[in-house]
Every structure is written in structure tokens, then in C-alpha cells.
Amino acid sequence: MGGRKASGRKTSGDTTGGEDRSPAALDAPYDGSTEARYPAPTAEEDATPAADLDLTGDAENLFDDEALLDDEEAEVGGEVAGGLIETVIEDGTPTGRLDAVLAARLVEALGPEAPSRARLQALVKAGKVTVDGRIVHESSRKIGAGARIAVELPPPEPATPEPEAIPLDVVYEDEALIVIDKPAGLVVHPAAGHARGTLVNALLHHCGDDLSGIGGVRRPGIVHRLDKDTSGLLVVAKTDRAHRGLAAQFADHGRTGALERAYIALVWGAPRAGGGTIDAPLARSTANRQRRAVARSGGKEAVTHYTVLERFGSGDEPIASLIECRLETGRTHQIRVHMAHIGHPLVGDEEYGAGFRTKVNRLPEPAHSLAAAFGRQALHAAVLAFEHPVTGEILEFESDLPDDLAALVEAFRAIP
């Protein structure tokens, strides 16, 4: 799987021959009985008083896909900024001036996309902030424990992306759609903190006006997404008809149609031999709303099927494993959270993989140097297949591992 190469083929008949790779053919569902050594936080366990926020303006993500951009949560923050945000000041948390307290709490909720203190002062003056249900016009008002603060943030102004001459690795293109082999580091569409240099900017330059408008101003043609730091195959609609047809297939997740997606991941440790299924609902983390977590109650259904392809390292337990993941659902960061949940986080994933530096420091060379410098989750969208929304042909594409991930895998393979 070395090198940076993608290929595809078209068929008009059944493509399910050969080895049965359907979810039903994989191992029995993961029952949670195996203790996770490096568990991802659950939506309840990671709650902290400092993060007890009620973001009532949070809308459902219409493009909820495993492959959501890492930095897209900043955009979600921007969308949340168009609604009402409430927070309660608990005992033991910092108190003081209204503007200072509110600024600190919004940074916890929205990160770098939180409004500035000066902006909050203007909102207070405009009557957009209440304390215990009453409008307050003085930013200097002292806030104590137990106070409930609510702020109404105006909706952000959507920016129109501009065409940019960014090179694209085009795997396939016709009048209805285009398939891209996305490199790691490329954000799919403009969001807060990423107004330029995205795949959408590149597509506007490459396709001109020939992109579906269903996704809106910032998401023309975007049917599904990949994390900024996930590489691999992605299909974009050039017409509204193609967009609707592709969106229906992605919503079905291949349960009844031709859609097929497979990801290759390098994970720590040794998942159960052969593979398995992880059935664990996901929700926003209550401690960090830019993350996802396994939910003990509620949450959205999330099912990941994985197959162990290769194990690396000898001894009582392998150091790492190369796996293939297929999604029965498509949730934000699904593979990353699920693999961490069963104790096998992705190599390079510092967001969900606890003890990353410790594990890297135990590696021999050259795996140590390559893993330390890798700088992203070891995840690649290697297979994409779907029914052409216009012609009805079955399109199938495969992408080799990019050079950085291929080199990392080879280094792990060389571990004695």
C-alpha cells in the first residue's frame, strides 16, 4: 500500500462477489466486556462543573459523517454563536465582573471562535445578556456563585468562498461528479479559522460554477467530508441531481445500496483477532464540545466494523495493528472515538489517544522518530464505491496509503 496512488473502475453489475465483507460476516458485536486500557472519555464521565453549558442554539449537523473536519467544530461554534448560550457559575469557579466571567466561559465552550471581551461588552450594552433572567446593561456587574448567565449571540455572516489554484488529485470526473484523493492537512470547506485554502476553494477554481448548490455557500457540492488530517477518497457533486442521489446513498450507509467505504488505520495494541464490531452511541463531549464521546445514555447510534489486517511487534502483545474499518453509521470522529473506546486509539491521535507520547517513546528506531513526527491520526479513506446517481453504473475506487503513512507502517513492520 505504499505510495500516493488512487485507482478506480466502473461496473454495471453486482460487485459483491468474492470474500464476504458485509457487516453480517464480521465478528459478533463488541459487548464492552473488555476493559479499555486507553478509553476515550464518555459523554457523562468527562463532565466537569466548569463546562456545564447549555448550548440551546446547537442545531443538528446535516452532514454528520465520520469524516467531519477536526477544525469543523470551530464552525459549529460559529453556528452555535447564532443562538442562545447559557451557563451557571458553580461554587469554586472564578467570579468577578460579568464581561470577564462570561468571556472565560465562552472560551471554554467555543474555543478560539469565542467573541472577544470587547464584543461581549457591546452585547451587554445592547441588552443581549441576562443574569438570573433579567437583562443587564453593565459589564462591570459583579457575578457570584449560583448566577445563571445567558447571552444571545448574533448569527455569523456567511462568507462566499473564493476560487484558489490549489492542486487537486482528481481520480475521476464527469459532468455530474468528481472524485478526489484528498491529502492530509486539507480542510474540506471554509469554516471559522479556515476561510481560505480549502478543498472547496480548490474545487471552485477547478470546476468554476459547475458545483451543486445544495450544500450552501460554504459547502457547494459537498456530500460527505473527511477530517482535515485524514487522507483519502471523497466524492463531490457537480449537479443538484447528483447531490441528491449521492446524499441518499450516504444517508443509507450502504445498507441497501452500492455505497461502500473502507478506512485503513494504524492503531496501538492488538484488537481481538480477526476483527469485531463496536456498537456504542456517540454524543458531544460535555467537557469539550469540539470532541465526541461514547454516551452511556442517549447519543446517536454509531456502529463500526473492523478487521485486523496485520500485527506489528513480537512478544506477549503486539505493539500496534493495521486494521480496516467499515462504517454502518457515519458519525463525527466515529472511528477515532470507537477505537479509543476499546483501548486501541489511532497512532498519532493525540485528541483521543491517551498516553501517546509515552507509547511513542517506547518505540525503537526508526518507528520512534517517524511516529513522533507524524503529526496526525493514522487514518486513510482507502475504498469508495457508489452507484452513479445519473447513469446507474457502479463506480469503485481504491487509494494507496499516502507516503507518510506508508513509511510509518513500514517502520512498525520492521519492529522485531
Catalytic, 227? Answer: yes
- Could you report the per-residue pLDDT of 89-121, keeping only the tens digit for each? 877 666 789 998 998 888 877 776 778 888 899
| % pLDDT > 70, the chain | 75
The pLDDT of residue 11 is 44
Q: What's the chain's average pLDDT?
A: 78
The string of DSSP letters for 130-191 reads: EETTEE---TT-EE-TT-EEEEEPPPPPPPPP--------EEEE-SSEEEEEEPTT--SS-B
Cβ atoms of residues 89 and 144 within 8 Å: yes
Question: Cell numbers at residue 291, please?
Answer: 470532541
Highest-confidence segment of 57-66, 111-120, 257-266:
257-266
Question: Any idea of the CA torsion for 232, 233, 239, 242, to the nearest 10 degrees?
Answer: -140
Q: Tell which wins on pLDDT, 271 or 45.
A: 271
Q: Running DSSP on this structure, what letter comes out for residue 85?
A: E
pLDDT higher than threshold 90 for residue 14: no
pTM of this structure: 0.67
What are the boundaries of each domain within the chain?
A: 6-47+159-413, 52-152
pLDDT mean over 181-203:
82
pLDDT higher than threshold 80 for residue 61: no
Q: How many CA atoms lie within 13 A of 276 on its CB side?
A: 18
Q: Does domain 6-47+159-413 have CATH number 3.30.2350.10?
A: yes
The pLDDT of residue 72 is 28
The pLDDT of residue 208 is 84
The pLDDT of residue 254 is 77
Question: Cell numbers at residue 147, please?
Answer: 448566577
Name the one residue in this structure whose C-alpha cell is 465562552.
Answer: 106
**What architecture is domain 52-152?**
Roll (3.10)
Cβ atoms of residues 188 and 200 within 8 Å: yes
Count the neighbouring beta carbons within 10 Å of the beta carbon of residue 5: 14
- Which residue is catalytic, options 71, 227, 229, 349? 227
